Amino acid sequence: MKGKKVSANFALFIISFLVFITVLVFALLLFLSYENMHNSLVIETEEDTSVACRSLASDIEALTFGSGEPVVFTQDNDGSGNFELTKIVERYITAEIYRDYGAVYIIDEDGLVLLRNVYVENDDAIRTYYSDNGRLYIKDENVMELIGQEGDDLKTFAEDEGSYVTAIAGKHIQNTEYFVVVKKVETAKETVREYVENIFRPAVIALVSAVVLYALFVWLSLKPVRNISEVIKRVAEGDYTARVDAKYTNENDYSNFSVSSEFDEMGATVNNMIESLQNQEKDREIFISSVAHDIRTPLTSINGFVTAMLDGTISDEDRPKYLNLIKQQVGRIKALVTSMTEASSLSHVNRELMEEFNVSDMINDVIENLETQFADKDIHVIKSLDPGPGIIAYGEPAELARVINNIVTNAIKFTPAGGTIKISTETDKKQRKIFITVEDSGPGIEESKRKRIFESFYKGDPSRKQEGFGLGLYICKQILLGHRQTIVCEEGTELGGAKFVFSFPYPPEEI
């Protein structure tokens, strides 16, 4: 099943979809990078709070160590406890060096705040309330959970609330019944600012620039494709004067912004194709005119002869003579129709008819069959045939012999009386081909016409009354194409005329 081709709009949709996916993935990467930075802030805040809590607990333990009896801090509105030690610890935790620690509390097992960091401006940062007797209690469930656990191990808790990060650390103070609680709140504003300035803004600028440059690049690179498409559309509508812009056919023209040289080759190929179609259209018009003339003339004769026989102008005794004339005219029409129909089917090789044959023997047979034509023009034939074993070819012998016959007959037609025709062969074991060359001493073929002589219905000089319909070389090319071989017309011959070089294939290699 043949693959389906997509339209330009669908191709544009695919490109847009890919760009959208790229932007989406890019946005996802930006989001993940922000999450990574935010998580780093959470971890860093938790670690800082843990270090602060451990350090404070250790320092307070050093202050209270060696008292000889359990330490009791003086509570608000309560005269019990060690007033002097309480003031020392209070001065310690409110010192300037501990400002960055966050909210610092010394609490008992019931959550009663005994001492606190006066530098904390917002007590709501750690949820508290005043009881009826004026005492301050911590009502943060996370804090109560921390102090409610037995043991001296450091307990930490971190909470991410989007706009800020809260970390709590609690540790039992040895030799007392109290706990140190440190709660630090870090806003995410600094992280967001750093992320926007260092990652998000440069990334978005880079993405937008990349998308704009990509769109501009695609638009510029597709200009030759759009031009080629427009030209092909015009040709399809019958305008054979349309041509791809010259700057899209020259790979050395750097003003076209082509993606690769393939677009330039495509443009040049399209122009050559259009020129070929235009030439074929002209040749077809000439051919149709010629065919109409070639058919009309014998039909006029046939009509006249038949009319004369019907009205009695031609006697019964003369009828055989005119019937033979009618037969000749019908044969002429048949030959024309045969040439037209077989030219379209010769590129299809019948594999059952392919066999090995000797190329030298085939050439000798062709020359022998054309001996009368050589003699009529006193043409000298030079043969330079490879006698080696590699001269064995493989294909349809009748069709390949026809190629040799057509090329040699064509050389005879254009070689002047007393001229020379040279036929030579050369084997190429690497390419597994036999190359046959036919040269003549005729006027040769102009360079501008060499590429066109293998086109159907083409005649080098349509004004000359040459025999045939311009299909001889076209038929040769089609036969050789069916055998996957080539034929070219080269310049620079020893005899000064035309030079045709074509190839026959080697027999297939045995497996």
Q: 104-154 pLDDT, tens per residue? A: 888 887 778 778 775 544 555 456 655 555 566 676 666 766 666 555 566
Identify the CATH assignment for 238-342 out of 1.10.287.130, 3.40.50.300, 3.30.360.10, 3.30.450.20.
1.10.287.130
Question: Given this model, what pLDDT does residue 345 score?
Answer: 59
- Give the angle 63-69-72 at the CA atoms, nearest 5°: 70
Buried b (16+ CB within 10 A) or exposed e, 102-113: bbbbbbbeebbb
Asked whether 266 and 274 are in contact (CB, 8 A), the reply is: no
Phi, psi for 407 (deg, rounded to 5):
-65, -45
- 470: tokens are 């311009």
Q: Which of 167, 166, 183, 61 is nearest to 113 (CA)?
A: 183
CATH 3.30.565.10 maps onto the chain at 351-505
CATH 1.10.287.130 maps onto the chain at 238-342
Q: Would you state the CATH architecture of domain 351-505? A: 2-Layer Sandwich (3.30)
Structure confidence by residue, pLDDT tens digits, 359-401: 999 999 999 888 888 888 999 999 988 876 668 999 999 889 9
Q: What is the pTM of this model?
A: 0.43
Q: Tell me if residue 122 falls in helix, strand or coil.
A: coil
How far does CA 3 lie from the centroid of its chain?
16
Structure confidence by residue, pLDDT tens digits, 346-363: 666 777 888 999 999 999
Mean pLDDT of 20-40: 81
Q: Would you state the CATH architecture of domain 13-192? A: 2-Layer Sandwich (3.30)
Buried b (16+ CB within 10 A) or exposed e, 362-397: bbeebbeebeeebeeeebeeeeebbeeebbbbbbbb
CATH 3.30.450 maps onto the chain at 13-192
